[in-house]
Structure 1
Protein backbone atom coordinates (compact mmCIF):
# COMPACT_ATOMS: atom_id res chain seq x y z
CA UNK A 1 0.00 0.00 0.00
CA UNK A 2 1.23 3.48 -0.85
CA UNK A 3 0.22 6.20 1.63
CA UNK A 4 0.01 9.95 1.24
CA UNK A 5 -0.14 12.50 4.04
CA UNK A 6 -3.24 14.66 4.61
CA UNK A 7 -3.83 17.06 1.76
CA UNK A 8 -6.21 19.85 0.93
CA UNK A 9 -9.76 19.04 1.94
CA UNK A 10 -12.85 19.78 -0.13
CA UNK A 11 -15.77 21.62 1.47
CA UNK A 12 -17.83 18.41 1.25
CA UNK A 13 -15.08 16.41 3.02
CA UNK A 14 -14.83 19.09 5.74
CA UNK A 15 -18.60 18.82 6.28
CA UNK A 16 -18.39 15.01 6.44
CA UNK A 17 -15.53 15.18 8.97
CA UNK A 18 -17.70 17.45 11.13
CA UNK A 19 -20.57 14.93 10.95
CA UNK A 20 -18.24 12.06 11.87
CA UNK A 21 -16.80 14.05 14.78
CA UNK A 22 -20.30 14.62 16.18
CA UNK A 23 -20.89 10.85 16.21
CA UNK A 24 -17.48 9.87 17.60
CA UNK A 25 -17.69 12.51 20.35
CA UNK A 26 -20.77 10.74 21.73
CA UNK A 27 -18.52 7.95 23.08
CA UNK A 28 -20.84 5.11 22.06
CA UNK A 29 -19.96 1.42 21.73
CA UNK A 30 -17.69 0.68 18.74
CA UNK A 31 -20.30 -1.25 16.72
CA UNK A 32 -22.91 1.49 17.18
CA UNK A 33 -20.35 4.16 16.33
CA UNK A 34 -19.50 2.32 13.10
CA UNK A 35 -23.18 2.05 12.20
CA UNK A 36 -23.87 5.75 12.82
CA UNK A 37 -20.71 6.88 11.01
CA UNK A 38 -21.78 4.73 8.05
CA UNK A 39 -25.10 6.58 7.97
CA UNK A 40 -23.19 9.88 7.73
CA UNK A 41 -20.80 8.63 5.02
CA UNK A 42 -23.41 7.18 2.64
CA UNK A 43 -24.99 10.44 1.35
CA UNK A 44 -21.57 11.80 0.33
CA UNK A 45 -20.48 8.80 -1.74
CA UNK A 46 -20.44 9.33 -5.48
CA UNK A 47 -20.54 13.11 -5.14
CA UNK A 48 -18.06 14.72 -7.56
CA UNK A 49 -16.91 17.31 -5.01
CA UNK A 50 -15.95 14.79 -2.28
CA UNK A 51 -12.33 14.28 -3.37
CA UNK A 52 -9.73 16.44 -5.09
CA UNK A 53 -8.24 15.17 -8.38
CA UNK A 54 -5.04 14.25 -6.55
CA UNK A 55 -6.98 12.12 -4.05
CA UNK A 56 -8.30 10.00 -6.92
CA UNK A 57 -4.84 8.93 -8.15
CA UNK A 58 -3.82 5.29 -7.83
CA UNK A 59 -0.46 3.50 -7.87
CA UNK A 60 0.37 0.95 -10.58
CA UNK A 61 2.03 -1.41 -8.08
CA UNK A 62 -0.41 -1.52 -5.13
CA UNK A 63 -3.56 0.09 -3.85
CA UNK A 64 -3.01 3.62 -2.62
CA UNK A 65 -4.17 5.22 0.61
CA UNK A 66 -4.77 8.98 0.66
CA UNK A 67 -5.12 10.21 4.22
CA UNK A 68 -7.86 12.84 4.08
CA UNK A 69 -8.16 13.62 7.79
CA UNK A 70 -6.75 12.50 11.12
CA UNK A 71 -8.51 13.90 14.15
CA UNK A 72 -6.01 15.70 16.43
CA UNK A 73 -7.07 13.65 19.47
CA UNK A 74 -6.52 10.38 17.54
CA UNK A 75 -10.17 9.33 17.75
CA UNK A 76 -10.68 8.77 14.01
CA UNK A 77 -9.15 9.04 10.56
CA UNK A 78 -10.64 9.28 7.08
CA UNK A 79 -8.83 7.83 4.07
CA UNK A 80 -9.57 7.30 0.41
CA UNK A 81 -8.33 4.00 -0.99
CA UNK A 82 -7.71 3.90 -4.73
CA UNK A 83 -7.63 0.43 -6.25
CA UNK A 84 -6.58 -0.34 -9.80
CA UNK A 85 -8.04 -3.57 -11.27
CA UNK A 86 -6.78 -6.67 -9.44
CA UNK A 87 -5.19 -4.83 -6.49
CA UNK A 88 -5.86 -6.31 -3.06
CA UNK A 89 -4.98 -6.35 0.61
CA UNK A 90 -3.57 -9.25 2.56
CA UNK A 91 -5.99 -11.04 4.90
CA UNK A 92 -6.07 -8.81 7.97
CA UNK A 93 -8.01 -7.42 10.90
CA UNK A 94 -8.11 -3.95 12.46
CA UNK A 95 -7.10 -2.02 15.55
CA UNK A 96 -10.51 -0.34 15.80
CA UNK A 97 -14.00 0.01 14.35
CA UNK A 98 -14.12 0.74 10.65
CA UNK A 99 -16.56 1.99 8.02
CA UNK A 100 -16.00 1.49 4.29
CA UNK A 101 -18.11 3.08 1.58
CA UNK A 102 -17.68 2.73 -2.17
CA UNK A 103 -17.31 6.06 -3.93
CA UNK A 104 -16.67 4.67 -7.41
CA UNK A 105 -16.36 1.20 -8.96
CA UNK A 106 -16.70 -1.96 -6.89
CA UNK A 107 -14.92 -3.16 -3.78
CA UNK A 108 -15.02 -6.89 -3.12
CA UNK A 109 -14.44 -8.47 0.25
CA UNK A 110 -13.98 -11.98 1.59
CA UNK A 111 -14.79 -12.23 5.30
CA UNK A 112 -13.24 -14.94 7.47
CA UNK A 113 -13.53 -16.47 10.89
CA UNK A 114 -10.63 -18.02 12.74
CA UNK A 115 -11.13 -21.76 13.28
CA UNK A 116 -9.09 -22.90 16.29
CA UNK A 117 -6.56 -25.67 16.03
CA UNK A 118 -7.86 -29.19 16.63
CA UNK A 119 -5.51 -31.98 17.62
CA UNK A 120 -2.34 -31.81 15.51
CA UNK A 121 -3.86 -29.36 13.02
CA UNK A 122 -3.02 -25.67 13.09
CA UNK A 123 -5.58 -22.88 13.23
CA UNK A 124 -7.06 -21.92 9.88
CA UNK A 125 -9.24 -19.25 8.36
CA UNK A 126 -12.69 -20.18 7.10
CA UNK A 127 -14.35 -17.92 4.54
CA UNK A 128 -17.81 -16.97 5.81
CA UNK A 129 -19.01 -14.46 3.25
CA UNK A 130 -18.11 -12.91 -0.09
CA UNK A 131 -19.47 -9.41 -0.55
CA UNK A 132 -19.34 -7.09 -3.55
CA UNK A 133 -20.15 -3.47 -2.72
CA UNK A 134 -20.97 -1.01 -5.47
CA UNK A 135 -21.18 2.78 -5.54
CA UNK A 136 -22.97 4.22 -2.52
CA UNK A 137 -22.87 1.02 -0.48
CA UNK A 138 -21.47 1.15 3.05
CA UNK A 139 -20.43 -1.51 5.55
CA UNK A 140 -19.07 -1.20 9.04
CA UNK A 141 -17.65 -3.45 11.69
CA UNK A 142 -15.81 -3.53 14.98
CA UNK A 143 -13.31 -6.07 16.32
CA UNK A 144 -13.40 -8.90 17.05
CA UNK A 145 -14.77 -10.67 14.01
CA UNK A 146 -13.34 -8.28 11.44
CA UNK A 147 -10.94 -10.57 9.56
CA UNK A 148 -11.15 -9.94 5.83
CA UNK A 149 -9.43 -9.42 2.49
CA UNK A 150 -10.47 -6.53 0.24
CA UNK A 151 -9.84 -6.19 -3.48
CA UNK A 152 -10.90 -4.53 -6.70
CA UNK A 153 -12.57 -7.16 -8.86
CA UNK A 154 -13.89 -4.77 -11.51
CA UNK A 155 -12.23 -3.67 -14.75
CA UNK A 156 -11.95 -0.01 -13.76
CA UNK A 157 -10.45 1.98 -10.91
CA UNK A 158 -12.33 1.62 -7.64
CA UNK A 159 -12.29 4.31 -4.96
CA UNK A 160 -13.55 3.74 -1.45
CA UNK A 161 -13.78 5.95 1.61
CA UNK A 162 -12.72 4.38 4.91
CA UNK A 163 -13.19 5.80 8.39
CA UNK A 164 -11.20 4.20 11.21
CA UNK A 165 -11.57 4.77 14.94
CA UNK A 166 -7.81 5.33 15.22
CA UNK A 167 -5.08 7.73 14.07
CA UNK A 168 -3.68 6.04 10.95
CA UNK A 169 -0.94 8.66 10.63
CA UNK A 170 0.46 7.88 14.07
CA UNK A 171 -0.05 4.12 13.72
CA UNK A 172 0.95 3.94 10.05
CA UNK A 173 -2.06 1.75 9.25
CA UNK A 174 -5.41 0.55 10.57
CA UNK A 175 -4.25 -3.06 10.34
CA UNK A 176 -3.75 -4.91 13.61
CA UNK A 177 -2.63 -8.29 12.22
CA UNK A 178 -1.93 -9.84 8.83
CA UNK A 179 -2.86 -13.53 8.65
CA UNK A 180 -0.73 -16.12 6.92
CA UNK A 181 -2.82 -19.09 8.05
CA UNK A 182 -4.25 -21.68 5.69
CA UNK A 183 -7.70 -20.83 4.34
CA UNK A 184 -10.61 -23.06 3.39
Structure 2
Protein backbone atom coordinates (compact mmCIF):
# COMPACT_ATOMS: atom_id res chain seq x y z
CA UNK A 1 0.00 0.00 0.00
CA UNK A 2 1.25 3.49 -0.78
CA UNK A 3 0.34 6.90 0.56
CA UNK A 4 0.78 10.21 -1.31
CA UNK A 5 2.37 13.20 0.40
CA UNK A 6 1.91 16.95 0.07
CA UNK A 7 4.92 17.16 -2.27
CA UNK A 8 3.47 14.47 -4.55
CA UNK A 9 6.01 11.84 -3.55
CA UNK A 10 4.72 8.45 -2.52
CA UNK A 11 5.95 6.59 0.55
CA UNK A 12 5.49 2.90 -0.21
CA UNK A 13 5.09 -0.17 1.94
CA UNK A 14 8.51 -1.39 3.01
CA UNK A 15 10.07 -4.73 3.75
CA UNK A 16 11.00 -5.94 7.20
CA UNK A 17 14.70 -5.33 6.50
CA UNK A 18 14.03 -1.65 5.70
CA UNK A 19 12.05 -1.41 8.95
CA UNK A 20 15.07 -2.80 10.82
CA UNK A 21 17.40 -0.35 9.06
CA UNK A 22 15.16 2.56 10.12
CA UNK A 23 15.57 1.56 13.78
CA UNK A 24 19.36 1.29 13.41
CA UNK A 25 19.68 4.66 11.63
CA UNK A 26 17.45 6.31 14.23
CA UNK A 27 19.88 5.17 16.95
CA UNK A 28 22.81 6.77 15.09
CA UNK A 29 20.91 10.04 14.48
CA UNK A 30 19.96 10.30 18.15
CA UNK A 31 23.66 10.44 19.07
CA UNK A 32 23.85 14.00 17.65
CA UNK A 33 27.22 13.49 15.96
CA UNK A 34 28.76 15.75 13.27
CA UNK A 35 27.37 15.21 9.74
CA UNK A 36 30.51 13.50 8.33
CA UNK A 37 30.64 10.98 11.18
CA UNK A 38 26.89 10.37 11.02
CA UNK A 39 27.17 9.63 7.28
CA UNK A 40 30.08 7.25 7.89
CA UNK A 41 28.19 5.32 10.61
CA UNK A 42 25.00 5.13 8.53
CA UNK A 43 27.11 3.83 5.64
CA UNK A 44 28.35 1.00 7.86
CA UNK A 45 24.72 0.09 8.57
CA UNK A 46 23.82 0.12 4.87
CA UNK A 47 26.59 -2.27 3.74
CA UNK A 48 24.98 -5.54 4.94
CA UNK A 49 21.54 -4.45 3.75
CA UNK A 50 22.75 -4.23 0.15
CA UNK A 51 23.16 -8.01 0.06
CA UNK A 52 19.53 -8.67 1.03
CA UNK A 53 17.73 -10.23 -1.96
CA UNK A 54 14.22 -9.20 -0.89
CA UNK A 55 15.09 -5.69 0.28
CA UNK A 56 12.66 -3.98 -2.10
CA UNK A 57 9.17 -4.79 -3.30
CA UNK A 58 8.51 -5.30 -7.03
CA UNK A 59 6.98 -1.80 -7.18
CA UNK A 60 10.11 -0.24 -5.60
CA UNK A 61 12.25 -1.83 -8.33
CA UNK A 62 10.30 -0.15 -11.16
CA UNK A 63 12.00 2.44 -13.33
CA UNK A 64 10.67 5.21 -15.53
CA UNK A 65 11.65 5.45 -19.21
CA UNK A 66 11.95 9.26 -19.04
CA UNK A 67 14.12 9.78 -15.95
CA UNK A 68 15.62 7.94 -13.00
CA UNK A 69 12.87 7.16 -10.50
CA UNK A 70 12.80 7.93 -6.78
CA UNK A 71 10.90 5.62 -4.42
CA UNK A 72 10.67 7.00 -0.87
CA UNK A 73 11.03 4.06 1.51
CA UNK A 74 10.95 6.02 4.77
CA UNK A 75 10.82 9.59 6.00
CA UNK A 76 11.41 10.03 9.72
CA UNK A 77 8.49 11.96 11.28
CA UNK A 78 10.84 14.52 12.86
CA UNK A 79 12.50 15.19 9.46
CA UNK A 80 15.94 13.94 10.57
CA UNK A 81 16.44 11.38 7.78
CA UNK A 82 14.90 9.69 4.77
CA UNK A 83 15.59 6.46 2.89
CA UNK A 84 15.06 6.38 -0.87
CA UNK A 85 15.54 3.79 -3.60
CA UNK A 86 16.65 5.28 -6.93
CA UNK A 87 16.03 3.18 -10.03
CA UNK A 88 18.11 4.02 -13.08
CA UNK A 89 17.49 2.62 -16.54
CA UNK A 90 20.51 2.42 -18.89
CA UNK A 91 21.96 5.85 -19.71
CA UNK A 92 19.90 7.82 -17.17
CA UNK A 93 21.79 10.39 -15.12
CA UNK A 94 21.47 13.30 -12.73
CA UNK A 95 22.47 16.85 -13.40
CA UNK A 96 25.66 17.98 -11.70
CA UNK A 97 24.49 18.81 -8.19
CA UNK A 98 25.23 19.10 -4.49
CA UNK A 99 23.02 18.25 -1.51
CA UNK A 100 21.01 19.83 1.28
CA UNK A 101 22.43 17.44 3.89
CA UNK A 102 24.76 14.52 4.55
CA UNK A 103 24.09 11.54 2.31
CA UNK A 104 24.95 7.87 2.05
CA UNK A 105 24.49 5.92 -1.17
CA UNK A 106 24.84 2.20 -1.72
CA UNK A 107 24.52 0.31 -4.99
CA UNK A 108 22.00 -2.49 -4.62
CA UNK A 109 21.91 -3.73 -8.22
CA UNK A 110 23.75 -2.90 -11.43
CA UNK A 111 26.51 -0.33 -11.63
CA UNK A 112 26.66 3.43 -11.33
CA UNK A 113 29.31 5.80 -12.60
CA UNK A 114 29.98 8.93 -10.60
CA UNK A 115 31.98 11.99 -11.55
CA UNK A 116 33.00 14.14 -8.60
CA UNK A 117 33.86 17.82 -8.95
CA UNK A 118 35.66 20.59 -7.08
CA UNK A 119 34.42 24.15 -7.21
CA UNK A 120 37.36 26.45 -7.87
CA UNK A 121 37.10 30.19 -7.30
CA UNK A 122 39.36 33.19 -7.68
CA UNK A 123 37.13 35.38 -5.51
CA UNK A 124 35.21 36.80 -8.47
CA UNK A 125 34.26 33.77 -10.56
CA UNK A 126 33.82 30.07 -9.92
CA UNK A 127 34.18 27.02 -12.13
CA UNK A 128 33.88 23.27 -11.77
CA UNK A 129 36.89 21.03 -12.18
CA UNK A 130 36.43 17.26 -12.60
CA UNK A 131 38.15 15.71 -9.60
CA UNK A 132 37.53 11.98 -9.79
CA UNK A 133 35.63 9.33 -11.78
CA UNK A 134 34.36 6.39 -9.76
CA UNK A 135 32.61 3.20 -10.85
CA UNK A 136 30.36 1.86 -8.12
CA UNK A 137 29.47 -1.87 -8.43
CA UNK A 138 26.89 -3.68 -6.25
CA UNK A 139 27.73 -3.24 -2.58
CA UNK A 140 29.71 -0.01 -3.08
CA UNK A 141 29.03 2.72 -0.52
CA UNK A 142 29.71 6.47 -0.63
CA UNK A 143 29.18 8.75 2.38
CA UNK A 144 29.60 12.51 2.30
CA UNK A 145 28.42 15.81 3.73
CA UNK A 146 28.34 19.34 2.33
CA UNK A 147 30.26 21.34 1.38
CA UNK A 148 32.34 19.71 -1.33
CA UNK A 149 29.78 17.09 -2.32
CA UNK A 150 29.34 18.06 -5.98
CA UNK A 151 28.84 15.18 -8.40
CA UNK A 152 26.91 13.63 -11.29
CA UNK A 153 25.69 10.03 -11.18
CA UNK A 154 24.63 7.85 -14.10
CA UNK A 155 23.79 4.28 -14.95
CA UNK A 156 26.60 3.37 -17.32
CA UNK A 157 25.70 -0.30 -17.75
CA UNK A 158 23.24 -1.99 -20.11
CA UNK A 159 20.85 -3.13 -17.37
CA UNK A 160 18.81 -1.45 -14.67
CA UNK A 161 20.71 -0.06 -11.67
CA UNK A 162 19.22 0.46 -8.21
CA UNK A 163 20.79 2.37 -5.36
CA UNK A 164 19.68 3.01 -1.80
CA UNK A 165 20.15 6.56 -0.49
CA UNK A 166 19.92 7.78 3.09
CA UNK A 167 19.67 11.55 3.49
CA UNK A 168 19.88 13.63 6.65
CA UNK A 169 16.77 15.52 5.56
CA UNK A 170 13.04 15.06 5.01
CA UNK A 171 12.89 14.19 1.31
CA UNK A 172 9.09 13.95 1.41
CA UNK A 173 8.81 17.58 2.49
CA UNK A 174 11.67 18.83 0.26
CA UNK A 175 10.89 16.64 -2.77
CA UNK A 176 14.60 16.14 -3.46
CA UNK A 177 18.01 16.03 -1.79
CA UNK A 178 19.48 18.41 -4.36
CA UNK A 179 20.48 21.82 -3.04
CA UNK A 180 21.57 23.30 -6.36
CA UNK A 181 22.58 22.23 -9.85
CA UNK A 182 25.63 23.34 -11.84
CA UNK A 183 26.37 23.85 -15.52
CA UNK A 184 28.80 21.28 -16.87
CA UNK A 185 32.37 22.51 -17.28
CA UNK A 186 33.72 23.31 -20.74
CA UNK A 187 34.31 20.07 -22.62
CA UNK A 188 31.38 18.27 -20.97
CA UNK A 189 28.58 20.28 -22.55
Task: State the SS of the aligned residue for 1:59.
Answer: coil
Q: Please, which of 47, 50, 63 is the counterpart of residue 52 of structure 2?
A: 47
Structure 2 counterpart of 1:143: 146
TM-score by length of 2: 0.91
Number of residue-to-residue matches in the alignment: 180
- Cα deviation for residue 128 of structure 1 reads 0.4
**Structure 1: segments with no counterpart, 5+ residues:** none
- Cα deviation for residue 182 of structure 1 reads 2.8
Task: State the SS of the aligned residue for 1:6.
Answer: strand
Spell out the pairing of 1:120-139 with structure 2 (5 A cutoff): 122-139=125-142
RMSD over aligned CA atoms reads 1.4
Cα deviations by residue, 1:92-139 (Å, 9 ceiling, x for unpaired): 0000000000000011100000111477xx421001000111111111
Give 4+ residue runs of structure 1 displaced > 3 Å after superposition.
Answer: none
Counterparts of 1:68 and 1:118, CA distance in 2: 41
Structure 1 counterpart of 2:179: 176
Q: Please, which of 58, 61, 78 is the counterpart of residue 56 of structure 1?
A: 61
| 8 Å Cα contact 1:46/1:104 also seen in 2 | no
Tell me: CA distance 1:181–1:124, structure 2 relative to 1, closer, same or farther (3 Å).
Answer: farther
